[in-house]
């Protein structure tokens, strides 16, 4: 495989000149430029990206950290990231953590070893204190709330978002409301519970279901829900997928919705709309796009930012 020096020799110019042609530097005469072009064509020159990377110190890669690559919740974020990355000619190295702290550390170690230019965390169990130690090795952006000043954050304020959702339910006349959350101890779940107990007069511990992540969990919940004696009249889910599983199972059992139980989802994924799910729309694709842009800008010297977004009600037929 021909390298830049072979080209230089073949075209009888210096390697500097070849490099200048590659980078479209203006200070090359037409003749030499042409000779170099010719040489590259004849020898089938292909620029070695690794050498470029070592030389410039830029990898053109970000690592994207998320618990599960195939969880639909992250789909729209990733989509936004991918679109932004394509525009900037950047690559995304995906890193699945399965909520394991050591996997998050491994992902951020890529930053340390200059294998990527920056890191984007869609979810994390690592403390911000620990995360900040990695900050010196490159920009870090998160999709979660509570990041310190050095770490960029683009997220929805889950407290405010839940307040908004609960207000939608209240305005629709629902008083007995339950909520369905994912991991019990995650910061967003804590914020959501806070909102629930702050806003809902008839809030009950027993009406807070935690540990529901997937559609399958939603189906399981349907069973548990129907078994219960005293049931809320409306359920506010923190995920459309769980809500959909619940909805599908109830419909299968011919439970009337929203007459017997109203459902409000959270996310606004197209699939939810397709099933008529009423939901709180969260601009996840935008968040993904912005996360990329922020990280990119920060790499070029911009300062980190915090951007808190709000959600809007997306009516369906389940409320």
Partner DNA sequence: GTACAGTCTGAAACGCGTTTCAGAGCAAGT
Partner DNA sequence: ACTTGCTCTGAAACGCGTTTCAGACTGTAC
41 binds DNA (CB under 7 A): no
Question: Which positions from 164 to 203 touch DNA by CB under 7 A, shown as an x/- string?
Answer: ----------------------------------------
43 binds DNA (CB under 7 A): no
Contacts of 85 (CB under 8 A, 6+ apart): 62, 91, 92, 292
14 binds, among DNA, its own copies, none (CB under 5 to 8 A by kind): DNA
Tell me how far, at minimum, the Cβ of 172 lies from its own copies, in Å.
20
Q: Specify the residue, 52 or 175, whose C-beta has the smaller distance to DNA.
A: 52
270 binds, among its own copies, DNA, none (CB under 5 to 8 A by kind): its own copies
Q: Specify the residue, 86 or 175, whose C-beta has the smaller distance to its own copies.
A: 86
101 binds DNA (CB under 7 A): no
15 binds DNA (CB under 7 A): yes
Tell me how far, at minimum, the Cβ of 44 lies from its own copies, in Å.
10
252 binds DNA (CB under 7 A): no
Where does residue 210 rank: exposed (0-12), middle (13-18), buried (19+ CB within 10 A)? middle
Residues that bind its own copies in the complex, under the rule CB under 8 A: 46-51, 53-54, 57, 59, 61, 68-70, 72, 74-76, 78-79, 82, 86, 91-96, 110, 112-115, 214-216, 219, 245, 248-249, 251-252, 254, 270-271, 274-276
Where does residue 169 rank: exposed (0-12), middle (13-18), buried (19+ CB within 10 A)? buried
Q: Specify the residue, 216 or 260, whose C-beta has the smaller distance to its own copies.
A: 216
How many Å apart are CA 231 and CA 246, to the nearest integer?
15
224 binds, among its own copies, DNA, none (CB under 5 to 8 A by kind): none
Classify the phi-psi angles of 60: left when phi > 0, otherwise alpha if psi is within -120 to 50, otherwise beta: left
Inter-axis angle of helices 215-227 and 240-252, nearest 10: 50
Q: Specify the residue, 2 or 309, whose C-beta has the smaller distance to DNA.
A: 2
- Which of residues 34, 38, 42, 48 is near DNA by CB under 7 A? 48
20 binds, among DNA, its own copies, none (CB under 5 to 8 A by kind): DNA
Both tokens assigned to 103: 């996997």
How many Å apart are CA 81 and CA 19, to the nearest integer?
32
32 binds DNA (CB under 7 A): yes
308 binds DNA (CB under 7 A): no
- Which of residues 34, 38, 42, 52 is near DNA by CB under 7 A? 52
Where does residue 60 rank: exposed (0-12), middle (13-18), buried (19+ CB within 10 A)? middle
Q: Specify the residue, 136 or 171, whose C-beta has the smaller distance to its own copies.
A: 136
- Which of residues 9, 10, 24, 29 is near DNA by CB under 7 A? 29
């Amino acid at each position: 495989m021909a390298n830049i020096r072979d080209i230089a020799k073949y075209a009888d110019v210096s390697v500097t000149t070849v490099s200048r042609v590659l980078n479209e530097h203006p200070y090359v005469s037409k003749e030499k430029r042409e000779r170099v072009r010719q040489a590259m064509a004849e020898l089938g020159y292909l620029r070695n990206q690794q050498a470029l990377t070592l030389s410039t110190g830029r990898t053109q890669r970000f690592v994207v950290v998320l618990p599960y690559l195939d969880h639909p919740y992250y789909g729209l974020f990733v989509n936004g990231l991918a679109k932004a990355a394509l525009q900037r000619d950047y690559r995304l190295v995906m890193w699945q953590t399965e909520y394991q702290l050591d996997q998050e550390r491994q992902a951020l170690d890529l930053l340390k070893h200059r294998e990527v230019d920056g890191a984007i965390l869609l979810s994390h169990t690592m403390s911000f204190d620990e995360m900040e130690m990695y900050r010196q090795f490159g920009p870090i952006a998160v999709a979660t709330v509570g990041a310190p000043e050095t770490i960029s954050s683009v997220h929805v304020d889950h407290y405010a978002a839940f307040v908004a959702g609960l207000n939608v339910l209240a305005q629709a006349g629902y008083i007995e409301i339950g909520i369905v959350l994912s991991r019990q101890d995650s910061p967003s779940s804590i914020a959501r519970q806070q909102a629930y107990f702050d806003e809902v007069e008839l809030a009950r511990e027993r009406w807070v279901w935690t540990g529901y992540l997937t559609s399958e969990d939603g189906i399981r919940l349907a069973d548990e829900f129907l078994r219960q004696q005293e049931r809320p009249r409306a359920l506010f889910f923190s995920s459309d997928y769980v809500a959909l599983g619940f909805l599908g199972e109830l419909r299968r059992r011919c439970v009337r919705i929203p007459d017997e139980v109203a459902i409000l989802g959270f996310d606004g994924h197209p699939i939810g709309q397709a099933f008529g799910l009423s939901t709180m729309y969260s601009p996840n694709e935008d968040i993904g796009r912005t996360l990329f842009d922020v990280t990119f800008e920060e790499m070029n010297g911009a300062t980190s930012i915090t951007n808190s977004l709000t959600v809007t009600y997306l009516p369906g037929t389940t409320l």
